[in-house]
Amino acid sequence: MLSEFDLIKQYFVRPQPGRATLGIGDDCALLTPSAGAQLAISTDMLVENRHFFAGADARCLGHKALAVNLSDLAAMGATPVAFTLALAIPKADRDWLKGFSSGLFELADLYGCELIGGDTTRGPLNICITVFGELAPGHGLRRSGALPGDDIWVSGTLGDARLALAGLRDEFPIDQESLALASLRMHLPDPRIALGRALAARSLAHAALDISDGLVGDLGHILEASGVGATVNVDALPAGPALAAQETAIRRQFCAQGGDDYELCFTANPSLREAILAAGSASNTPLTRVGTIESGAGLRLVDGAGAAVDLDAAGFDHFTLP
C-alpha cells in the first residue's frame, strides 16, 4: 500500500530542513521573504503528449519540469528560492516516482531552490510547478523596455531541441550521433539563472525573456510589449552543435522558430557590449548579437548579406480554435 501521504514522505520530503519556516505537511507552506525583496512568481504546467512524449524518462521529466520554471526566473533576473509541485499521475509507480524526484531534486539542489509544498492526485499525467524567486525591486527584467537602437542578444545556442523533435517525429533522416546530442538539449535544458541575475543586478538589459516557443515568436512579445520593431540576422543565430551540421534552410528555421530552447533573449544599449560580454563570461554563458531593435513595427528577418528571409514565421502556440 502506498498512500498519498506515504508517497509524499518517501519521494518528496527531504531530510534537511531548508529555508522555509514550514514546509510540506501542513495546510500551507510558510516562507519569510528576504527584507525588501520583490517576489518573482511563475507557473508552468507540463502535459503528456503535449510537452513530452508518453513514456518519457522520468528523471529527465523531473529535471525539465523544474528547468522550464527556473528559466522564467532567469528571464526576470531573479534568484530561485522555492517551488511547489502539483502532480497528477495515473498510478503510483515507484520506479517512476524515484526517477522523477531524483531529476527534480538534482536540479533544485543546484540552485538552492526548495520544494515547500504541493499536491498529488491520481489523473492523466500532469506536472504543475510554481516557482518563487527574489530580486531587488525595480531590477526585474521585463519585456516592455526595449528601445530603438538596442542590440538583440541571445544566450547559448538555439534549435537543437527542435532538431531532436524532428528526429523523434521522423521528419527527415538525422544521424544517431546528432540525434543523441540534440536530445540532451531537449530533455535536460539548463536554465540561465546566473546570466539573468547578472543582467538584472547590473541593469544591463532593457528587455528580456526566455525562448521557450521559438525566437521569432518570443521576440515578438518583446516587440509588442515595447512598441518597437526589429531586424534579426538569421545567419547570426547561434545554432546548436547538432543543428549546425544541417542544411541552411533547416538550420535557419529551427534556430528562428524551434521551441524548447530555454535560452535568454535580451536587448541592451550598444554602449554596454563589453560589460555584457563580461557578464556572459562570468556566468559561463556564450552570448551572441543577432540583430537590432528599430522604431518601425514588425520583425524583419534577413540573411548574412542583408536580404529578406521568409520562414513563414509563427511561434509555437498551444491553441488554435476555428
Q: Which three cell numbers stand for residue 51?
A: 510537452
Contacts (CB under 8 A) with a second copy, residues 124-183 = 124, 126, 128, 130, 132-133, 135, 137, 140-144
Residue with cell 503528456: 48
Backbone angles phi, psi at 153, to 5 degrees: -115, 150
Q: Which is nearer to a second copy, 159 or 315 (CB)?
A: 315
Residue number, 97 or 250, with CB nearest to a second copy: 97
User: Going by DSSP bridges, is the β-strand pair 298-302/229-233 parallel, antiparallel, or unpaired?
Assistant: parallel
- Determine if 13 is a binding residue for a second copy (CB under 8 A): no
Q: Select from 2, 39, 9, 42 the least CA-distant residue to 24.
A: 9
Least distance in angstroms from the C-beta of 205 to a second copy: 12
Find the shortest distance in angstroms from Cβ 296 to a second copy: 22
Residues 198-237 binding a second copy (CB under 8 A) are 208-210, 225
Q: What is the CA radius of gyration of the chain?
A: 20
DSSP characters over 280-321:
HHHTT--EEEEEEEESSSEEEEE-TTS-B---------S---
Nearer to a second copy, 29 or 61 (CB): 29
Q: What is the 3-state secondary structure (H, E, C) of 129-141?
A: EEEEEEECCCCCC
Which of 62, 117, 159, 189 binds a second copy (CB under 8 A)? It is 117
Q: Which of residues 26-85 bind a second copy (CB under 8 A)?
A: 26-33, 35, 37-45, 47-51, 72-73, 75-76, 78, 84-85
Q: How far is the CB of 109 from a second copy (least distance, A)?
A: 20
Q: Which of 9, 13, 17, 25 binds a second copy (CB under 8 A)?
A: 25
